[in-house]
Amino acid sequence: MTRIDDTFGRLKAEGKKAFVAYIMAGDPDLATSLQVMKGMPAAGVDIIELGLPFTDPMADGETIQLAGQRSLEGGQTLVRTLDMVREFRRSDAVTPIVLMGYYNPIYSRGVDRFLAEAKEAGIDGLIVVDLPPEEDSELCLPAQAAGINFIRLATPTTDDKRLPKVLQNTSGFVYYVSITGITGAAAAKPADVAPEVARIKAQTDLPVIVGFGISTPEAAQDIAAIADGCVVGSAIVKLVGEGRPVPEVLDRVAALAGGAHAA
């Protein structure tokens, strides 16, 4: 059992949906992103998705690409990101943290070394968007063995033939990408998402969380109502990029969380 499993168990018992919030580690600087991160649980965030900056973020739209650039220009690295998690864990041993990014920085660190450091720092799950199921032996299976959930993405183009392959070694939850394309590119449509969530849930007992294209409390409520919860990323990252004060960012996070929890 990981913190992710514990969190979904608690939410299910309470009859609540999960609100997952994404920020980019080190954006616009380490101190600010850590301050936002530390304020998220009190704002209603159930699971924190922490972006690991990378030079070629192929799944990300402009908002998150720019966040990654700011982070890298500020000197953010994988090591500093894990240090950020360690600092967060000094005051919060409960809130799950999912590290989301690309394989290159992990590969460069060395898988065994990275997993040992990530587990020790307090990482609970990984989303690595450029490692397909055919590469599960690279990171997915070693991560599971280390006690870290490996969360897979399903998309509108994941057909019935492909879906079992996507699900076979997934743990923690399934992340359903609500739109075809990059982050922040379009709005999620409940009428399109609902049958896809039902299709996935027919093949797995894992929670299904929907992300991409959710930017308002109303959208968070509508999407969470047809899934086990929702993810908001670009709408939060955009505020950080605009230089909004941390309290203002957290107020918006709280409003979005309120939408999801009202589902």
**Number of folded domains that form the chain:** 1
- Which pLDDT tens digit goes with each residue over 6-60? 999 999 999 999 999 999 999 999 999 999 999 999 999 999 999 999 998 887 8
Residues annotated catalytic, as ranges: 49, 60
Angle in degrees, CA 183, 185, 188, rounded to 5? 85
> What are the tokens at 88?
């967060």
| Residue showing tokens 């919860």 | 229
In the three-class reduction of DSSP (H, G, I as helix; E, B as strand; rest coil), residue 82 is classed as helix
Position 186 scores a pLDDT of: 67
DSSP string for residues in 92-151: -SSS-EEEEE-HHHHHHH-HHHHHHHHHHHT--EEEETT--GGGTTTTHHHHHHTT-EE-
- Which pLDDT tens digit goes with each residue over 62-90? 999 999 999 999 999 999 999 999 999 99
Position 19 scores a pLDDT of: 98
The CATH number of whichever domain residue 230 belongs to comes to: 3.20.20.70
Position 1 scores a pLDDT of: 86
Position 40 scores a pLDDT of: 98
Give the largest Cα separation in the chain, rounded.
47
Average pLDDT, the chain: 95
Tell me: pLDDT of 182 over 80. no
- Which pLDDT tens digit goes with each residue over 122-137? 999 999 999 999 999 9
> For 89-93, 139-143, 191-195, which range has the lowest pLDDT when averaged over its residues?
191-195
pLDDT band at 197 (very low <50, low <70, confident <90, very high): very high
144: exposed, middle or buried (Cβ count in 10 Å: 0-12, 13-18, 19+)? middle
The residue among 163, 164, 169 whose CA lies nearest residue 138 is 169
Residue 109 belongs to domain spanning:
3-261
Tell me: pLDDT of 113 over 70. yes
Eight-class DSSP state of 212:
S
